[in-house]
A = this chain, B = another copy of it.
Amino acid sequence: MPGLLIIAHAPLASALRAVALHAFPEASEAVAALDVPSDMSPSQIESEARALLAQVRRPQVLVLADVFGATPCNVAQRLADGRDVRLVAGVNVPMLWRAIAYRDVPLDELVDRALTGAGQGVLAAASSRPQNQASKAPPHEEVDRHHQQ
């Protein structure tokens, strides 16, 4: 069962971990979070991230970063070895919940599940008001219709 490490601009990583454990309290030991303050040096971030990585390694870890191209993700790329430590970016709650729900699958499949969960969770939610008759449609149709407009 892979562990999870969330790495993000402070205080987002610990906030995401709190929301994750609200839904999956039993996953507490498998999910670590590193909040990266703006004044933390890349070498310090890497050092703290490696310590957390060692804590949650089982022996594989999925690292979830907030934004590709920003410092937390850039440092996280140094941790990813393409085999036992994989990295995904753009973490949102659907990605995180999906990653925890499927944390018993092999790491490659977990990466797929996390990405798919994140993407499916991004949608324009319909209004519940009468002027928007789309409100009863399921979420995926909402997304598709939105992008076809």
A88 and B122 form a contact (CB under 8 A): yes
- Contact status of A124 and B81, CB under 8 A, knowing A9-B19, A67-B97: no
A45 at the interface (CB under 8 A from B): no
* Copies per assembly: 2
Beta-carbon contact of A122 and B12 below 8 Å: no
Q: Which residue of B lies closest to A83 (CB)?
A: B131
One of B11, B87, B89, B139 near A15 (C-beta < 8 A): B11
Residues of chain B lying within 8 A (CB to CB) of residue A77: 125-128, 135
Q: A68-B139, A80-B127, A131-B83 in contact; A90/B16 too (CB < 8 A)? A: no
Which B residues touch A135, using CB under 8 A?
Answer: 77
- Chain A interface, DSSP helix/strand/loop, else mixed: mixed
* Contact in complex: A78, B119 (CB < 8 Å): no
A sample of 11 more A-B contacts (CB under 8 A), given A68-B94, A76-B125, A88-B124, is A19-B66, A67-B121, A68-B121, A73-B125, A80-B132, A82-B129, A82-B131, A86-B124, A89-B123, A92-B118, A115-B143
12 contacts between A and B (CB under 8 A): A9-B19, A9-B22, A80-B129, A81-B127, A87-B124, A88-B124, A89-B124, A90-B118, A90-B122, A90-B123, A92-B92, A115-B143
Nearest 6 pairs of A and B residues by beta carbon: A82-B132, A15-B15, A90-B121, A90-B122, A82-B127, A92-B92
